[in-house]
Structure 1
Amino acid sequence: MQTLKEDLPTLFAKDISYDIYTQDIYFKDPVNKFKYKFNYRIIFWTLRFHAQLFFTQITFDLHEVYQSSEDTILAKWTVRGVLRVPWKSEIFFNGYSTYKFNSNNLIYEHIDTWDRKPVEILKQFIQKG
């Protein structure tokens, strides 16, 4: 939990620690689904790349991280940003991440749930900030 608390708030600025994940980690969010640590590393690299390319400001606000059951950690968060366009569109959505870990305390599953559909988030890009 401590590594997640340290990594998540800065995920748009620097890489996370991958030693807490299994080699065959499964990831799913409303637009992606894949397996394996190599792909997991790529998704975080892509997030940082697109954050710098498309946003003048972007933050990942981590609200709470807690163990919700014997093998599950929940992290509640908000993403906020300002798109790099003349009308300065703003993005805002809440979500939570569910992490499942094994007996070695390594995370083998990461499922993200968002408070709105991806198309609703994309519509924010064309609205004036």
Structure 2
Amino acid sequence: MIEYQLQVQQAIDTLKSDLPTLFEQDISYDIYTKDVYFQDPVNKFKGKTNYRIIFWTLRFHAQLFFTEIYFDLHEVAQTSSDTILAKWTVRGTLRVPWKTQIFFNGYSTYKLNTEGLIYEHIDTWDRKPVEVLKQFIGKGGESN
């Protein structure tokens, strides 16, 4: 039990370290199982290779589409013996002449196996994906 709790604490510490810079640098994959399952409002897949690809894609698109983008981590806590919850906000400025701002809140639910490794990561957003995409249009298309 002590070893399990140490592994859970390592996962929490790693998430606290990795998440704020996920748009700038790669995360550590040591706290995840080989067959980790990921789901957010637009993606669903299984496997550490695919998990690595989603984070690479996030960094690539962040550099391509944004002049600045931030992943503000508000809290990471163990909410039950096999669950870690991370609350966050994504905000940024799109690379368009009218400098549209994007902003949405969410939380990540991480489920832990008996060794304290993350086998499931489910992201929940405070709005539908289409509402997030509408922010990309911004004020540029409107006449004032």
TM range (shorter): over 0.9
Alignment of 1:19-58 (within 5 A): 19-58=30-69
**Structure 1 CA distance, aligned partners of 2:139 and 2:54?**
28
Question: After the TM superposition, which segments of 4 or more aligned residues of structure 1 sit over 3 Å from their partners?
Answer: none
Q: How many residues align?
A: 129
Structure whose residues are more often strand by fraction: 1
- TM-score, structure 1 normalization: 0.98
Alignment of 1:105-116 (within 5 A): 105-116=116-127
Alignment of 1:1-129 (within 5 A): 1-128=12-139
Query: Unaligned 5+ residue runs, structure 2?
Result: 1-11
SS at match of 2:36: strand
Contact 1:63/1:76 (8 A) holds in 2: yes
**Structure 2 CA distance, aligned partners of 1:21 and 1:128?**
40
Superposition deviation, residue 2 in structure 1: 0.3
Greater Rg over alpha carbons, structure:
2
- TM-score, structure 2 normalization: 0.88
Letter in 2 for 1:5: K
Could you say what the CA RMSD is over the residues aligned between the two structures, in angstroms?
0.8
State the percentage of identical aligned residues.
81
Structure whose residues are more often helix by fraction: 2
